[in-house]
């Protein structure tokens, strides 16, 4: 999880809940500087690694939140994402995290989605992205982007299904007592 001041807590912790017990993955927090990072809700999360000492990540996720408005203009963030993307097996985002990936040039020419309430701002970060207005989440190659906030939890379970199969995704959702919207095209917040 790549976090920054003003990240949306549910964007991070919905997927953490779903991915936290996968058999061969460890969830770590990465930020420009290691240590406490305050969410937009005011709760702090401790970043295990800084951009300077983070290992190559097999899967990384960029959350949304009000802090993305700053991060799209943060050269350290954009360069870190490009560097990680070059070796990652999967690059994912929740909400306006896709705007940061887009600004880094990572989503150019790919299908992606973002938060529908911040649609105009997020999609303006790179007009070459094939933005999908009707999508809870979108998978295009190794890129998985999701719509606003709670859609990240649905995407995280969809990602579990993609990697490990339907049975494990359902077991994780059930264990969390979570009503999974398992259809990436079932988006009640569609932008036409």
Please give the C-alpha separations between residue 43 and each of 38, 39, 40, 96, 172, in angstroms, as whole numbers: 6, 5, 8, 19, 25
Q: Which pairing describes strands 137-140 and 143-146: parallel, antiparallel, or unpaired?
A: antiparallel
| Nearest one of 79, 85, 132 to 110, comparing CA atoms | 132
Instruction: Report the distance separating Cα 183 and Cα 91, nearest Å.
Output: 20
Catalytic pick from 1, 3, 94, 95? 95
95 carries an active-site annotation = yes
Q: Find, among 186, 119, 184, the residue nearest to 145 by Cα.
A: 184
The token duo for 128 is 């070459």
Q: Would you please indicate which residues are annotated as catalytic (active-site) residues? A: 95
């Amino acid at each position: 999880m790549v976090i920054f001041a003003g990240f949306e807590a549910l964007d991070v912790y919905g997927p953490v809940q779903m991915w936290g017990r996968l058999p061969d993955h460890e969830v770590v927090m990465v930020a420009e500087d290691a240590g406490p990072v305050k969410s937009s809700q005011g709760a702090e999360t401790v970043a295990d690694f800084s951009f300077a000492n983070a290992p190559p990540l097999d899967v990384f996720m960029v959350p949304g939140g009000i802090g993305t408005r700053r991060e799209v203009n943060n050269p350290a963030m954009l360069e870190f994402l490009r560097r990680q993307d070059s070796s990652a097996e999967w690059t994912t985002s929740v909400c306006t995290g896709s705007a940061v990936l887009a600004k880094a040039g990572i989503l150019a020419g790919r299908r992606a989605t973002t938060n529908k309430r911040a649609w105009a701002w997020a999609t303006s970060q790179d007009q070459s992205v094939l933005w999908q207005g009707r999508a809870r989440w979108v998978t295009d190659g190794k890129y998985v982007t999701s719509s606003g906030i709670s859609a990240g939890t649905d995407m995280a379970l969809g990602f579990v299904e993609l990697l490990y199969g339907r049975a494990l995704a359902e077991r994780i959702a059930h264990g969390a007592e979570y009503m999974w919207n398992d259809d990436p095209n079932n988006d009640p917040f569609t932008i036409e």
